Structure 1
Amino acid sequence: MRSRFLFASLTLAMLLLAACGDSGPFQRAAAPDVSVQTPDAETVRPQARPGEEGVDALPPLARSAVRTAETLDRTTPEERAAATAPAAAGAQLGETLASLGNPAEGGFWLRTGLVTEAQQGRVETRGGASVQVELRPSGSAPGAGSQLSLAAFRALEVPLTDLPRLTVFSQ
Protein backbone atom coordinates (compact mmCIF):
# COMPACT_ATOMS: atom_id res chain seq x y z
CA MET A 1 0.00 0.00 0.00
CA ARG A 2 2.82 2.31 0.96
CA SER A 3 4.66 1.57 -2.29
CA ARG A 4 1.61 2.44 -4.38
CA PHE A 5 1.31 5.77 -2.56
CA LEU A 6 5.01 6.45 -3.11
CA PHE A 7 4.74 5.52 -6.81
CA ALA A 8 1.69 7.80 -7.29
CA SER A 9 3.45 10.67 -5.50
CA LEU A 10 6.59 10.33 -7.63
CA THR A 11 4.54 10.13 -10.84
CA LEU A 12 2.63 13.26 -9.89
CA ALA A 13 5.87 15.10 -9.06
CA MET A 14 7.40 14.13 -12.42
CA LEU A 15 4.31 15.35 -14.30
CA LEU A 16 4.39 18.66 -12.46
CA LEU A 17 8.09 19.14 -13.23
CA ALA A 18 7.52 18.28 -16.89
CA ALA A 19 4.76 20.90 -17.07
CA CYS A 20 7.17 23.59 -15.87
CA GLY A 21 9.83 22.88 -18.48
CA ASP A 22 10.08 23.92 -22.14
CA SER A 23 9.86 20.37 -23.40
CA GLY A 24 7.53 17.45 -23.02
CA PRO A 25 3.79 17.06 -23.52
CA PHE A 26 2.99 20.38 -21.77
CA GLN A 27 5.19 22.59 -23.94
CA ARG A 28 4.05 26.20 -24.34
CA ALA A 29 3.34 27.57 -27.80
CA ALA A 30 5.72 30.21 -29.07
CA ALA A 31 4.39 33.78 -29.01
CA PRO A 32 3.43 35.06 -32.46
CA ASP A 33 5.62 37.71 -34.10
CA VAL A 34 3.64 40.96 -34.01
CA SER A 35 6.31 43.34 -35.23
CA VAL A 36 5.12 46.21 -37.39
CA GLN A 37 6.93 47.14 -40.54
CA THR A 38 7.21 50.83 -41.26
CA PRO A 39 6.90 51.74 -44.96
CA ASP A 40 10.06 53.18 -46.45
CA ALA A 41 10.63 55.46 -49.41
CA GLU A 42 10.47 52.54 -51.82
CA THR A 43 7.03 51.34 -50.66
CA VAL A 44 4.49 51.64 -53.45
CA ARG A 45 1.36 53.50 -52.39
CA PRO A 46 -1.91 53.75 -54.34
CA GLN A 47 -2.38 56.99 -56.22
CA ALA A 48 -5.66 58.83 -56.79
CA ARG A 49 -6.72 59.29 -60.34
CA PRO A 50 -5.88 62.76 -61.65
CA GLY A 51 -8.72 65.20 -61.10
CA GLU A 52 -10.63 62.99 -58.64
CA GLU A 53 -11.02 64.04 -55.04
CA GLY A 54 -13.24 63.14 -52.12
CA VAL A 55 -16.33 61.00 -52.64
CA ASP A 56 -16.01 61.13 -56.44
CA ALA A 57 -12.70 59.24 -56.23
CA LEU A 58 -14.39 56.24 -54.61
CA PRO A 59 -15.60 53.23 -56.59
CA PRO A 60 -19.35 53.28 -57.35
CA LEU A 61 -20.34 50.79 -54.62
CA ALA A 62 -18.37 52.66 -51.95
CA ARG A 63 -19.68 56.00 -53.23
CA SER A 64 -23.28 54.81 -52.69
CA ALA A 65 -22.54 53.97 -49.04
CA VAL A 66 -21.14 57.43 -48.18
CA ARG A 67 -23.50 59.53 -46.09
CA THR A 68 -22.90 63.22 -46.73
CA ALA A 69 -24.76 66.28 -45.51
CA GLU A 70 -26.44 66.48 -48.92
CA THR A 71 -27.79 62.94 -48.64
CA LEU A 72 -28.98 63.40 -45.05
CA ASP A 73 -30.66 66.79 -45.60
CA ARG A 74 -34.02 65.91 -47.13
CA THR A 75 -35.46 69.43 -47.22
CA THR A 76 -36.66 70.70 -50.58
CA PRO A 77 -35.43 73.90 -52.23
CA GLU A 78 -38.87 75.42 -51.54
CA GLU A 79 -38.58 74.61 -47.82
CA ARG A 80 -35.09 76.14 -47.73
CA ALA A 81 -36.32 79.28 -49.48
CA ALA A 82 -39.22 79.63 -47.02
CA ALA A 83 -36.94 79.13 -44.02
CA THR A 84 -34.44 81.75 -45.16
CA ALA A 85 -37.05 84.34 -46.21
CA PRO A 86 -37.02 87.56 -44.17
CA ALA A 87 -39.20 87.29 -41.08
CA ALA A 88 -40.69 89.67 -38.52
CA ALA A 89 -38.24 90.71 -35.82
CA GLY A 90 -39.92 88.91 -32.89
CA ALA A 91 -38.81 89.05 -29.28
CA GLN A 92 -35.17 88.28 -28.57
CA LEU A 93 -34.91 85.31 -26.19
CA GLY A 94 -31.14 85.30 -25.79
CA GLU A 95 -27.92 83.90 -27.24
CA THR A 96 -26.70 80.32 -27.36
CA LEU A 97 -23.87 78.24 -28.76
CA ALA A 98 -25.22 75.55 -31.06
CA SER A 99 -23.79 72.18 -32.03
CA LEU A 100 -25.09 69.92 -34.76
CA GLY A 101 -28.19 68.03 -33.65
CA ASN A 102 -29.29 64.58 -34.80
CA PRO A 103 -28.87 64.61 -38.62
CA ALA A 104 -31.63 61.99 -38.95
CA GLU A 105 -34.21 64.50 -37.62
CA GLY A 106 -35.32 66.44 -40.66
CA GLY A 107 -36.54 70.02 -40.87
CA PHE A 108 -35.45 73.34 -39.43
CA TRP A 109 -35.30 73.32 -35.64
CA LEU A 110 -33.28 74.43 -32.61
CA ARG A 111 -33.38 72.42 -29.38
CA THR A 112 -32.63 74.93 -26.65
CA GLY A 113 -33.12 75.72 -22.98
CA LEU A 114 -34.34 79.22 -23.93
CA VAL A 115 -37.93 77.91 -24.41
CA THR A 116 -40.17 75.70 -22.29
CA GLU A 117 -42.58 74.68 -25.06
CA ALA A 118 -42.32 74.25 -28.83
CA GLN A 119 -42.90 77.43 -30.85
CA GLN A 120 -41.89 79.10 -34.08
CA GLY A 121 -38.85 81.31 -34.02
CA ARG A 122 -35.76 82.46 -35.83
CA VAL A 123 -32.01 82.23 -35.24
CA GLU A 124 -29.40 84.65 -36.51
CA THR A 125 -25.61 84.31 -36.72
CA ARG A 126 -23.22 87.11 -35.83
CA GLY A 127 -22.62 87.51 -39.56
CA GLY A 128 -26.32 88.34 -40.12
CA ALA A 129 -27.50 85.08 -41.72
CA SER A 130 -30.84 83.97 -40.35
CA VAL A 131 -33.22 81.06 -40.67
CA GLN A 132 -36.71 80.38 -39.35
CA VAL A 133 -36.83 77.34 -37.09
CA GLU A 134 -39.08 75.48 -34.72
CA LEU A 135 -37.80 76.22 -31.22
CA ARG A 136 -37.93 73.00 -29.18
CA PRO A 137 -37.29 72.80 -25.44
CA SER A 138 -34.19 70.86 -24.47
CA GLY A 139 -34.90 70.54 -20.77
CA SER A 140 -31.48 71.96 -19.90
CA ALA A 141 -30.54 75.33 -18.45
CA PRO A 142 -30.66 78.30 -20.86
CA GLY A 143 -26.86 78.70 -20.88
CA ALA A 144 -26.14 74.99 -21.45
CA GLY A 145 -25.92 75.23 -25.23
CA SER A 146 -28.28 74.12 -27.95
CA GLN A 147 -28.56 71.73 -30.89
CA LEU A 148 -29.35 72.98 -34.39
CA SER A 149 -30.72 70.83 -37.20
CA LEU A 150 -28.61 69.83 -40.17
CA ALA A 151 -30.92 71.72 -42.55
CA ALA A 152 -30.57 74.91 -40.48
CA PHE A 153 -26.78 74.59 -40.36
CA ARG A 154 -26.71 74.27 -44.14
CA ALA A 155 -29.14 77.18 -44.66
CA LEU A 156 -26.95 79.39 -42.46
CA GLU A 157 -23.89 78.19 -44.43
CA VAL A 158 -22.09 77.30 -41.20
CA PRO A 159 -19.54 74.45 -41.24
CA LEU A 160 -21.01 71.40 -39.51
CA THR A 161 -18.08 71.21 -37.07
CA ASP A 162 -18.46 74.81 -35.85
CA LEU A 163 -20.20 75.93 -32.67
CA PRO A 164 -21.87 79.09 -33.92
CA ARG A 165 -23.13 81.73 -31.48
CA LEU A 166 -26.78 82.31 -32.37
CA THR A 167 -29.22 84.98 -31.33
CA VAL A 168 -32.62 83.37 -30.79
CA PHE A 169 -35.91 85.17 -31.50
CA SER A 170 -39.47 84.01 -30.90
CA GLN A 171 -42.17 84.74 -33.52
Structure 2
Amino acid sequence: MDRIAILGCGGSGKTTVGRTLAAHLGAPLTHLDGLYYDGDWNTLPPAEFAARQEEIVAGPRWVVDGNYAASMPIRLARADTVVFLDIPPPVCLWGILRRRYAYRGGQHPDQGVYDRITWNFVRYVLGFRRSMRPRVRVMISEHAAHADVVVLTSRRAVRRWLLDLPKESS
Protein backbone atom coordinates (compact mmCIF):
# COMPACT_ATOMS: atom_id res chain seq x y z
CA MET A 1 0.00 0.00 0.00
CA ASP A 2 1.66 3.15 -1.25
CA ARG A 3 -1.14 5.12 -2.92
CA ILE A 4 -4.44 4.95 -1.09
CA ALA A 5 -7.78 6.53 -1.99
CA ILE A 6 -10.34 6.57 0.83
CA LEU A 7 -13.98 6.96 -0.15
CA GLY A 8 -17.22 7.01 1.80
CA CYS A 9 -20.16 9.01 3.01
CA GLY A 10 -19.73 12.05 5.22
CA GLY A 11 -19.27 10.86 8.79
CA SER A 12 -18.11 7.40 7.71
CA GLY A 13 -14.62 7.93 9.15
CA LYS A 14 -12.57 8.82 6.07
CA THR A 15 -10.45 11.36 7.96
CA THR A 16 -9.76 9.03 10.87
CA VAL A 17 -8.83 6.16 8.56
CA GLY A 18 -6.69 8.52 6.49
CA ARG A 19 -4.78 9.79 9.52
CA THR A 20 -4.22 6.25 10.77
CA LEU A 21 -3.00 4.96 7.40
CA ALA A 22 -0.77 7.96 6.74
CA ALA A 23 0.87 7.58 10.15
CA HIS A 24 1.24 3.82 9.72
CA LEU A 25 2.77 4.12 6.27
CA GLY A 26 4.67 7.37 6.73
CA ALA A 27 2.85 8.74 3.68
CA PRO A 28 1.56 12.27 3.14
CA LEU A 29 -2.14 12.76 3.79
CA THR A 30 -4.48 15.01 1.82
CA HIS A 31 -8.03 15.79 2.95
CA LEU A 32 -9.92 16.81 -0.19
CA ASP A 33 -12.25 19.08 1.80
CA GLY A 34 -9.21 21.04 2.95
CA LEU A 35 -7.98 21.26 -0.62
CA TYR A 36 -11.33 22.19 -2.15
CA TYR A 37 -12.61 24.71 0.42
CA ASP A 38 -10.98 27.60 2.15
CA GLY A 39 -11.89 28.68 5.69
CA ASP A 40 -14.88 30.65 4.38
CA TRP A 41 -16.21 27.74 2.27
CA ASN A 42 -15.10 29.28 -1.01
CA THR A 43 -14.28 26.58 -3.54
CA LEU A 44 -11.46 26.08 -5.99
CA PRO A 45 -12.37 26.19 -9.67
CA PRO A 46 -12.83 22.59 -10.92
CA ALA A 47 -9.81 22.72 -13.24
CA GLU A 48 -7.52 23.90 -10.43
CA PHE A 49 -8.94 21.28 -8.04
CA ALA A 50 -8.26 18.56 -10.61
CA ALA A 51 -4.76 19.89 -11.34
CA ARG A 52 -3.85 19.87 -7.64
CA GLN A 53 -5.03 16.29 -7.35
CA GLU A 54 -2.98 15.32 -10.41
CA GLU A 55 0.11 16.73 -8.65
CA ILE A 56 -0.64 14.82 -5.45
CA VAL A 57 -1.23 11.46 -7.12
CA ALA A 58 1.90 11.80 -9.25
CA GLY A 59 3.87 11.17 -6.06
CA PRO A 60 5.12 7.72 -5.09
CA ARG A 61 3.22 7.57 -1.77
CA TRP A 62 0.04 9.26 -0.65
CA VAL A 63 -3.21 8.88 1.22
CA VAL A 64 -6.17 10.94 -0.01
CA ASP A 65 -9.54 11.01 1.69
CA GLY A 66 -12.68 12.36 0.07
CA ASN A 67 -15.20 11.64 -2.64
CA TYR A 68 -15.75 14.45 -5.18
CA ALA A 69 -17.14 12.21 -7.92
CA ALA A 70 -16.14 14.50 -10.79
CA SER A 71 -12.45 14.08 -9.99
CA MET A 72 -12.55 10.61 -8.44
CA PRO A 73 -11.09 8.95 -11.58
CA ILE A 74 -7.87 10.96 -11.07
CA ARG A 75 -7.26 9.27 -7.73
CA LEU A 76 -8.60 5.86 -8.64
CA ALA A 77 -6.41 5.55 -11.72
CA ARG A 78 -3.22 5.94 -9.64
CA ALA A 79 -4.30 4.24 -6.41
CA ASP A 80 -2.92 0.82 -5.58
CA THR A 81 -5.45 0.53 -2.74
CA VAL A 82 -9.01 1.83 -2.51
CA VAL A 83 -10.73 1.84 0.86
CA PHE A 84 -14.49 2.27 0.56
CA LEU A 85 -16.21 2.94 3.89
CA ASP A 86 -19.72 1.71 3.15
CA ILE A 87 -21.07 2.57 6.58
CA PRO A 88 -24.84 2.72 7.34
CA PRO A 89 -26.37 6.23 7.30
CA PRO A 90 -27.37 6.30 11.00
CA VAL A 91 -23.78 5.49 11.97
CA CYS A 92 -22.52 8.24 9.63
CA LEU A 93 -24.95 10.75 11.15
CA TRP A 94 -23.72 9.78 14.61
CA GLY A 95 -20.14 10.34 13.39
CA ILE A 96 -21.09 13.78 12.11
CA LEU A 97 -22.69 14.69 15.43
CA ARG A 98 -19.63 13.48 17.36
CA ARG A 99 -17.38 15.51 15.06
CA ARG A 100 -19.59 18.55 15.48
CA TYR A 101 -19.39 18.22 19.25
CA ALA A 102 -15.63 17.63 19.24
CA TYR A 103 -14.90 20.75 17.18
CA ARG A 104 -17.83 22.79 18.51
CA GLY A 105 -18.67 23.62 14.91
CA GLY A 106 -15.30 25.31 14.57
CA GLN A 107 -12.34 24.82 12.32
CA HIS A 108 -10.86 21.37 12.01
CA PRO A 109 -7.16 21.83 12.73
CA ASP A 110 -6.20 18.84 10.59
CA GLN A 111 -8.34 19.71 7.57
CA GLY A 112 -8.36 23.49 7.49
CA VAL A 113 -12.14 23.69 7.04
CA TYR A 114 -15.02 24.41 9.34
CA ASP A 115 -17.63 21.88 10.29
CA ARG A 116 -20.81 22.66 8.40
CA ILE A 117 -24.06 20.74 8.70
CA THR A 118 -26.93 21.69 6.43
CA TRP A 119 -30.19 19.91 5.65
CA ASN A 120 -28.86 19.20 2.16
CA PHE A 121 -25.84 17.50 3.72
CA VAL A 122 -28.07 15.43 6.04
CA ARG A 123 -30.19 14.38 3.04
CA TYR A 124 -27.01 13.48 1.16
CA VAL A 125 -25.89 11.26 4.03
CA LEU A 126 -29.29 9.59 4.34
CA GLY A 127 -29.42 8.92 0.57
CA PHE A 128 -25.74 8.06 0.05
CA ARG A 129 -26.21 4.30 -0.21
CA ARG A 130 -29.07 4.72 -2.69
CA SER A 131 -27.60 7.45 -4.89
CA MET A 132 -23.80 7.63 -4.50
CA ARG A 133 -22.80 4.08 -3.59
CA PRO A 134 -23.72 2.68 -7.03
CA ARG A 135 -21.76 5.50 -8.74
CA VAL A 136 -18.73 4.89 -6.51
CA ARG A 137 -18.79 1.16 -7.25
CA VAL A 138 -18.96 1.82 -11.00
CA MET A 139 -16.07 4.28 -10.83
CA ILE A 140 -13.99 1.82 -8.83
CA SER A 141 -14.64 -0.93 -11.39
CA GLU A 142 -13.89 1.40 -14.32
CA HIS A 143 -10.83 3.23 -12.95
CA ALA A 144 -9.34 1.03 -10.22
CA ALA A 145 -9.64 -2.53 -11.50
CA HIS A 146 -5.88 -2.82 -10.96
CA ALA A 147 -6.10 -1.83 -7.27
CA ASP A 148 -6.79 -3.77 -4.11
CA VAL A 149 -10.28 -2.72 -3.03
CA VAL A 150 -11.26 -2.92 0.61
CA VAL A 151 -14.96 -2.42 1.42
CA LEU A 152 -15.70 -1.96 5.12
CA THR A 153 -19.31 -1.90 6.26
CA SER A 154 -19.10 -1.20 10.00
CA ARG A 155 -16.98 0.68 12.52
CA ARG A 156 -15.94 -2.67 13.98
CA ALA A 157 -14.75 -3.87 10.56
CA VAL A 158 -12.76 -0.64 10.14
CA ARG A 159 -11.07 -1.04 13.54
CA ARG A 160 -10.30 -4.70 12.86
CA TRP A 161 -8.85 -3.92 9.41
CA LEU A 162 -6.65 -1.13 10.77
CA LEU A 163 -5.38 -3.37 13.59
CA ASP A 164 -4.56 -6.12 11.08
CA LEU A 165 -2.45 -3.91 8.80
CA PRO A 166 0.95 -5.45 8.14
CA LYS A 167 3.84 -3.84 9.97
CA GLU A 168 5.96 -1.68 7.69
CA SER A 169 9.57 -2.73 7.40
CA SER A 170 12.19 0.00 7.44
Q: TM-score, normalised on structure 2?
A: 0.18
Higher strand share: 1
Higher helix share: 2
Q: TM-score, normalised on structure 1?
A: 0.18
Radius of gyration: which is bigger? 1
Higher RCO (Cα < 8 Å, 6 or more apart) = 2
